[in-house]
Chains A and B, each alone.
Chain A
């Protein structure tokens, strides 16, 4: 697959979907039901604003969403009270499928949403976004509505139109660039076309969600990409630029925990798919750069060549009067 073509054909900017009236008409024509899931844990500062905006703009003004649900992991603050006050359906994760052994983590809430919510499409949006805007939802839903073959739409946050120089590097956060992109470059090169594989906002068709496993912790986004790719191929994906996302930055020590979780999930999948032993020596690292008009993959060849132990070099042995160690 020509990845640049894939990027050109499947990468959107939310402004392409400004015509919400048309979007709602198309949704209604297809008789689709769409649910929004906001997974929460102590988000009282931001949850009210998210619900107000989505209720006003995407339920009442342009009825794109059929339900807004908060699925909470057991917040100690007033998250659920505020959410209920502004009209969201609120659920405690542990109350959904209560006979199952409870697990704590965002992935658990996302998974239980499939059971609890009724939409043909579920859009997941993190509850800690302080610059929330309706684009965070319609930008992800629109490719699913307009393109039946697309099954999973992922958010990324950037803006190639606003750059002042000609080219600049682009991509995800620290964990993406240091861990996930190198791993994908080695084992799943096509998945490197996803500009921000770890972004917490995505819209997915139910018939895909119900077929994939959900790590309950940090690995959920990584596992989704690998599993959907494995089952449906790159054709199932699209991605939308939602501009800027403002949220609290995590300290490096927390990123270490996140990376550890992701690595566990990743290794589990590469093992199950028998990837580790059957992967050749991939030496291309695939990063992103942005030109004024488009995203481009930047292929960097990194060959980790090696020298043998010095003892194997005859000149060395001769100089230091050493014998070659056998075995």
Chain B
């Protein structure tokens, strides 16, 4: 039996993990080919739950938000003081139900919609109980495996937030797993708000005003004004105008146009200030043009996280170092934010290399998966060791 007190060579572990190639890739194919747009993840969660049951995970359930949950009980029992480490992979993808989700397996790569974000992360979560059980890797603390729903876009991390709000567990650390990129080490969340601005030409508009009544022109005015917002170099800040939609044909004046955007900053104050500016722009352009302008902000993240020296980051870096993975430090707007809101130190790690994320041709490399997987298990082993003895209060965020 291998316990967490044993020193585990992560390079040996990586080599052992190669024997799970079929299991990981089969789970990736089977789960990844189930469409799971945000708010419709239930079939993918059902798959996860079945995998947990087949691997004899002791407690398996779906909570009221629709998250799939499996708990691998720690060996610490009462001594473990009910502590737990939460491993999370979001189940949803940016692709609609109608997208052809067929994945193609080549000799060195797998490609298809959502294979990287977050098909692979989800498949690894589904395979972890089997791997841990067969390699006899046991933990002192409980390990909670969470397939999170309603994470992306308008989901606004609702799944994981629900779980953390309701959780009876004493969660001391969180690990978010994403398909790509190997080396990603995110331990801080940046401040963010995300939403849509929709311009509508009112029904009562005087259509004899030739050429002026177009929602596209109004949206253009808004875009220009957003572009004029002065953003600071420090703290680092950015405005992403990511998608646009409007009009119906070449020769018809557009009655409606929508801009999808996201504003990110290392500072909550800057985020808040830009949000106020967005509201002012909407009001100003509405009064100037007479168009209806709706500003719908549906996602917020607070900036925050743990420092570089935090033991959770150190344990992950140590695992990466052993596996010769070059850490790439990058703040994140993903599930980390939900952990930060609950004062739980957490990380996001990537599993392999890949490209064309959020494109139908999204693809991942197969070979690096085993290093990425060893990194995740190695980090879990280290975190488990760390929290085995640490006093509860000092485990929390400052």
Contact = CB atoms under 8 A, between A and B. Distances in A.
A81 B107 contact: yes
Contact of A82 (B22, B27, B103, B106): B106
Q: Which residue, of B103, B104, B105, B107, has the highest number of chain A Cβ atoms within 10 A?
A: B105
A60 B29 CA distance: 16
A282 to B, nearest CB: 42
Interface in B55-107: 102-107
A213 interface: no
Which of the four size classes fits the interface of chain B? 10 to 19
Nearest to A84: B107
B22 A87 contact: yes
Contact of B25 (A44, A56, A60, A131): A56
Nearest to B51: A61
Contacts of B54: 61
Interface in A25-49: 44-46, 48-49
B102 A131 contact: yes
Contacts of A45: 104
Contacts of B357: none
Given A60-B22, A133-B30, A52 B102 contact: no
A85 B367 CA distance: 12
Contacts of A55: 22, 26
A131 B26 contact: no
A243 interface: no
Nearest to B25: A52
B23 interface: yes
B275 interface: no
A52 B29 contact: yes
B26 A53 contact: yes
Which of the four size classes fits the interface of chain A? 20 to 34
Interface in B17-42: 22-23, 25-27, 29-30, 33
Contacts of B25: 52, 56
A157 interface: no
Given A86-B22, A130-B102, A246-B102, A49 B29 contact: yes
Nearest to B19: A60
A249 B26 CA distance: 26
Interface in A65-96: 78, 81-82, 85-87
Given A52-B29, A53-B30, A85 B22 contact: no
A57 interface: yes
Given A61-B54, A130-B102, A131-B33, A48 B107 contact: yes
Nearest to A20: B54
A269 to B, nearest CB: 38
A52 B103 CA distance: 12
Contacts of A78: 107
B212 to A, nearest CB: 47
A86 B110 CA distance: 13
Contacts of B104: 45-46, 49
Contacts of A82: 105-107
Contacts of A61: 23, 54
B102 A56 contact: no
A131 B34 CA distance: 10
Contact of B22 (A46, A52, A246): A52
Q: Which 7 A-B pairs have the closest CB atoms?
A: A56-B26, A48-B105, A56-B22, A49-B105, A55-B22, A130-B102, A52-B25
